[in-house]
Amino acid sequence: MYSELLHTSATVAATLAGFIGVVFILGRRSEGNLSIHELSAVFHLLYTALGVLFFSLVMSVFLAPTVEQGLIWQVGNGAFGLYHLLGSGRATAEALRGEFGVRKIIAWPLFIGSYLIIGANFAVAAGYFPEIGPLVFMLGIVWLLLVTAATFISLLSTGGRIA
């Protein structure tokens, strides 16, 4: 069941990463340099999309041959939580400096949701709630796809000007 969800998530993430690259990197390069807000948004768009792609594929590989999946979900949640924490930490720091490429009204709810999911990832990694390990991992994957989409929509709607 989870392998199909992981493959679908990887496909969506790869599509988003490719589309983002074409639209912003290639499209805006001919116009000149990207603003600090656009650079931030592009970084986080690619960070989240490529993170979902990587973790979805890695978990698919590790889950396929193994019978004991509890440890796989525990380790996967820990690694994914750390990755998510690094991205969210950078985004939060950029937002506090006024450099984050997403409107504040969108960014802060995304930060709160991210930190709640990161806490759940680390709780599963620590051995708490092992029965919901797959659900917590998949929730994190879907959340990062949502963050990617929200960042993309915010950047498109502002034209790189963040308020």
Q: Which of 54, 57, 58 is nearest to 46 (CA)?
A: 54
| Cβ atoms of 31 and 81 closer than 8 Å | no
| Cβ atoms of 160 and 82 closer than 8 Å | no
Residue spans per domain, the chain: 2-158
Question: What CA–CA distance (Å, rounded) separates 83 from 88?
Answer: 9
- Decide which of 66 and 145 is more confident: 145
pLDDT in tens, 68-116: 788 889 999 999 999 999 999 999 998 888 888 777 888 899 999 999 9
pLDDT in tens, 20-54: 767 666 665 556 666 787 778 878 888 888 888 88
Query: In the predicted model, what is the mean pLDDT of the chain?
Result: 83
What single string gives the DSSP state of each residue in 39-63? Answer: HHHHHHHHHHHHHHHHHHHHHHHHH
Question: What CA–CA distance (Å, rounded) separates 133 from 25?
Answer: 36
Residue 163 has a pLDDT of: 47
- Decide which of 58 and 155 is more confident: 58
